[in-house]
Amino acid sequence: ATLPQDDLLDGLDPEQRAAVTAPLGPLCVLAGAGTGKTRTVTRRIAHLISAGHVSSGQVLAVTFTSRAAGEMRTRLRELSASGAADPTAGLVQARTFHAASMRQLRYFWPRVMGEMPWQLLDRKFPVVRQAAQRSRATTDPESVRDFAAEIEWAKASLIAPEDYPAVVAGLDRQIPAPPEVVAAVYENYESIKSGGETMYLDFDDLLLFTAGALEDNAVVAEEFRDRYRCFLVDEYQDVTPLQQRVLDAWLGGRDDLTVVGDANQTIYSFTGASPRHLLDFTRTYTDATLVRLVRDYRSTPQVVELANTVIGQASGRIAGMRLELIGQRPPGPAPQFTEFDDEPAEAKDVARRIGSLLASGTPASEIAILFRINAQSEVYEQALTDAGIPFQVRGGEGFFQRSEIVQAMSALRAAAERDDLPEDAPLPTLVRAILAPLGRTPQPPTGQQARAKWESLVALERLAEEIQGLGEPLNLVTLVRELQSRASSRQPPVVDGVTLASLHAAKGLEWDAVFLVGITEGTLPISHALGERGSGGLPEAIEEERRLFYVGITRARVHLAISWALSRSEGGRRSRKPSRFLDTVLPQQRATTAAKKRPARSVKVPEMDEGLFAALKDWRLETAKEQGVPAFVVFTDATLSAIAAERPGSESELVALPGIGPAKLERYG
Ligand code: ATP
Ligand code: MG
């Protein structure tokens, strides 16, 4: 029976159709955020199957996260169920590189490695610590984490232990110890893993062994190539050399490969990923079909314009790849930019605005708060809990479930139970001393993971300080009790709540409303991208941070709110500056808002009458909400005294109403 091919091409523009229907063979879709790359890959799979070019079992689709893989399978099942695609399209394997490799390795292992039993190494730190010990390197927790991260990078970059010193000598790279020491730890780590009766494989080994099996064993390779013949990769800009090697081994010289990506969304360079393979695709496969998409179907023109502005400032290698996105959706509200005095105020206001979105019918699952580092999530988890708004934390546990926080809590509990400590030292000093062995060093460590844990511990310390500032003087016992009650009063994560996620974990996803929070120098761009004081930052690291900002902006369909706070804690020193990425955006934003809306910004209220205060209040909230500018209220002296007489203190009440910035009360006449 001929299948209704037309249905599969429904809702695709001409370029997307060209990509979907391109013949088997190398195909590259190079396009910006929200242009339908993922939709195109999914439809292409369905099309290739429905048109009889391949069977569903011959297709292997690779995506970046297991969630993305799951989503692709869901979309394929939907296409099958609706009758638009062949019923078998829903059976296609869509996996991450790791999941696909693990499955293949399980199957091929006996033929490649014989009787040797193997096991996945899911806790690698003890092995790295042992390796560091053998290499006479430092073995404190943060060094161990840094070594582990560096080994991961080296493996993903296909750098063997013996080559490591020579390779890093040619790179401008922060490394946790002298190159020879790292190389020794790396080498020992490998030999400890494979030295016992059971062979331990870490995540990178899954890929290395898969590639090795296909490269070295002709029988295995032949069987594999009989089985799979069509490969598709989403988010190809973030492929590592190791993943590329697996892909090459899968292909074994064949070229039925579809890749889609956006070089401007390269955000995993620190793991060894590089957009080189995407950008060189048409050079590698000279007969490749190249399709570019420029229509943005995800976001309102206002969001698209902001995204274009931000990525338009990019410099360096990828800048040449700039593609202007053209928004296709009807206009929506202007992106909001809001500055707060401190982080708790920022979080509280975000929760308040989410409350109004929910009240006006936006489902919680269509709202996300995105941040740069996981440690930022704590204050938002608290604010949402206080506001009774359900949430889920994506790509990580909630703050109190993180392993370093679980450890820190039990260390604090243990210390509280010993009575030789709760007496002389001030509480913050005590807390810091207890957290020190867990990785709360005075200075942040260099490795990404170690730093993330460090930031979490600092966030816990901050929370302790905040609790202490709230009321009666505390001792360690009561502090721990309060922390525990906070931990347990947190709402349990729910599946369709508001999403809290890091920018990295938000890749490829979309929401109706997105709150990008904490957009300050030192957070986005992150502190370690800033380099020496006054240096302007490390250029490549700054560019990656800019791309992260771009990824964040382009997650929003309609509502986009960008905010930052000048100080960390309530009443704290205003030591933070808005992110440099706002420099070009903010003046523009302010100018357009002011030009468009100026006439409506002030209102003269000649007389005081019944309900005036309520009316003013509504007007003030409306103006602030609509225009994103401070609202001015101009009174006659008589009115002002009337208000003051009727509602003592109402002047300051009006001024302090939440909204964008404070209102100004002025007299006239
Ligand atoms: P990212 O770079 O963020 O991964 P993407 O290019 O993969 O984005 P998709 O997620 O495939 O983009 O699509 C973005 C949104 O636009 C989705 O909601 C998708 O359903 C919708 N979309 C894609 N193409 C079209 C189209 N031709 N008509 C209408 N909507 C479309
Ligand atoms: Mg996508």
pLDDT tens readout for residues 494-518? 567 899 999 998 999 999 999 999 9
Q: Which residue has the higher pLDDT, 418 or 296?
A: 296
With beta carbons less than 8 A apart as the criterion, state whether 246 and 222 touch. Answer: no
Domain count along the chain = 5
- Residue 243: inside a domain: yes
Mean pLDDT value of segment 456-463: 84
- Look up the CATH number of the domain holding residue 69: 3.40.50.300
Q: Phi first, then psi: what are they for 62, rounded to 5°? A: -115, 130
Q: Which of 45-59, 409-423, 525-539 has the highest mean pLDDT?
A: 45-59
Q: Kindly report the CATH number assigned to the domain that includes residue 163.
A: 1.10.10
Mean pLDDT of the chain: 84
Tell me how far the alpha carbon of residue 508 lies from the centroid of ligand 1, in angstroms. Answer: 9
Q: What is the dihedral of CA 167, 170, 173, 174, to 10 degrees?
A: 80
Give domain status of residue 191, yes or no.
Answer: yes
- Which of 37, 38, 39, 292 for mutating ligand 1's site (highest number of atoms within 8 Å of CB)? 39
44 and 16 Cβ atoms separated by less than 8 Å: no
Residue stretches of the annotated binding site for ATP: 31-38
- 235, part of any domain: yes
- Name the more confident of 286 and 64: 286
More confident residue, 364 or 665: 364
Task: Calculate mean pLDDT across residues 398-411.
Answer: 84
For residues 429 and 393, membership in a common domain is answered with: no
Q: Up-side HSE of residue 528: CA atoms within 13 Å toward CB? A: 17
Whether the CB-CB separation of 482 and 436 falls below 8 Å is answered with: no
Q: Is residue 89 part of a domain?
A: yes
Residue nearest to atom 23 of ligand 1 (CA): 36
CA distance 19 to 514: 30
35, 33, 58, 32: which is closest to 45 by C-alpha?
A: 58
Is-contact 278 239, C-beta < 8 A? yes
CA 481 to chain centre: 32
- Say whether both 373 and 519 belong to one domain: yes
Q: How many residues comprise the chain? A: 669
Rounded Cα gap, residues 9 and 50, in angstroms: 12
Among 29-43, 341-355, 388-402, name the one with the lowest average pLDDT: 388-402
**Per-residue model confidence (pLDDT) at position 594:** 46
- Between the CA of 298 and the centroid of ligand 1 the distance, in Å, is 6
Instruction: Let me know: does 411 contact 440? Beta carbons within 8 Å.
Output: no
Residue 615 covered by a domain: yes
Highest mean predicted confidence (pLDDT) among 270-284, 299-313, 544-558: 544-558
Q: Pick the residue with more confidence: 471 or 315?
A: 315
Average pLDDT estimate for 172-184: 91
Top-ranked range on mean pLDDT: pick from 67-76, 182-191, 197-206: 182-191
Tokens 């560096």 map to which residue?
A: 150
User: Does ligand 1 lie within 6 Å of residue 325's CB atom?
Assistant: no
Partner residues linked to 393 by β-bridges:
500
Of the pLDDT bands very low, low, confident and very high (cuts 50, 70, 90), residue 452 is confident
Among the listed ranges 95-99, 366-370, 478-482, which one has the minimum average pLDDT value?
Answer: 478-482
C-alpha of residue 51 to centroid of ligand 2, in Å: 24
Cα gap 598→663, rounded to integer Å: 15
Query: Residue 472, Cβ neighbours under 10 Å: how many?
Result: 6
Residues 30 and 79 placed together within one structural domain of the fold: yes
User: Are residues 96 and 223 located together in one domain of the fold?
Assistant: yes
> Predicted confidence band at 1 (pLDDT cuts at 50, 70, 90)?
very low
Give pLDDT tens digits for 586-635.
Answer: 866 665 554 454 333 444 444 444 465 666 666 656 655 554 444 444 44
What are the DSSP calls for 188-240, one per residue? HHHHHHHHSSSEEE-HHHHHHHHHHHHHH-HHHHHHHHHH--EEEESSGGG--
**Do 433 and 578 belong to one domain?**
no
Q: Kindly state the helix (H) or strand (E) to which residue 595 belongs, with its residue range.
A: helix 585-597
Least confident of 30-34, 84-88, 418-422: 418-422
CA of 399 to the centre of ligand 1 (A): 32
Instruction: Tell me which of 291, 313, 346 is where a domain ends.
Output: 291
Enter the DSSP assignment of 611. T
Which of 184, 201, 218 delimits the end of a domain? 201
Average pLDDT (365-390) is: 92
C-alpha–C-alpha distance, residues 142 and 323, integer Å: 41
Distance CA 664, CA 70 (A): 51
Token code pair at residue 42: 């999914």
Domain boundary residue, one of 168, 186, 201: 201
Whether the pLDDT of residue 527 is over 80: the answer is yes
Regarding the beta carbon of 33 and ligand 1, being less than 6 Å apart is answered: yes
Evaluate the omega torsion of the peptide bond into residue 525 and state whether it is cis, within 30 degrees of 0.
yes
CA distance 250 to 309: 39
pLDDT tens digits, one per residue of 464-494 = 887 776 666 678 888 888 888 777 766 555 5
Domain that holds residue 612: 595-668
Residue 598 is predicted with a pLDDT of: 39
Token pair recorded at residue 141: 């927790």
Least confident of 75-89, 447-461, 598-612: 598-612
Same-domain status, 391 and 456: no
DSSP per residue, 239-293: --HHHHHHHHHHHTT---EEEEE-GGG---GGGT--THHHHTHHHHSTT-EEEEE
In a domain, 643, yes or no: yes
pLDDT at 135 over 70: yes
The pLDDT value given to residue 444: 77
- The answer, yes or no, to whether residue 646 has pLDDT greater than 50, is yes
Percent of the chain at pLDDT exceeding 70: 82
Identify whether residues 623 and 655 lie together within a single domain: yes
CA of 337 to the centre of ligand 1 (A): 26
If you take atom 4 of ligand 1, which residue's CA is the nearest one? 508
Do 386 and 523 belong together in one domain?
yes
pLDDT at 643: 62
- Cα–Cα distance between 38 and 109 in angstroms, integer? 33
What is the rounded CA–CA span in Å between residue 459 and residue 440?
Answer: 11
Residue 157's alpha-carbon distances to 153, 168, 248, in angstroms, are 6, 11, 15
Would you state the pLDDT for residue 616?
63
292 lines ligand 1 (CB under 6 A): no
> Above 90 in pLDDT, residue 215?
yes
In degrees and rounded to multiples of 5, residue 368 shows phi and psi of -135, 145
Burial of residue 73, with CB atoms counted within 10 A of its CB: 0-12 exposed, 13-18 middle, 19 or more buried: buried
312 in a domain, yes or no? no
| Same domain for 505 and 373 | yes
The answer to whether 337 and 592 are in contact (CB under 8 A) is: no
Q: Are residues 244 and 180 in the same domain?
A: no
Is the distance from the beta carbon of residue 508 to the nearest atom of ligand 1 less than 6 Å?
yes
The verdict on 543 and 653 lying in the same domain is no
Percent of the chain with pLDDT over 90: 48
273 CA distance to ligand 2 centroid (A)? 17
Residue 325: what pLDDT? 85
Say yes or no: CB of residue 299 within 6 Å of ligand 1. no
**pLDDT score recorded for residue 213:** 94
Residues 361 and 386 in one domain: yes
In this structure, the residue with its CA closest to atom 14 of ligand 1 is: 34
CB 307 less than 6 A from any atom of ligand 1: no
User: Quick check: is 113 in a domain?
Assistant: no
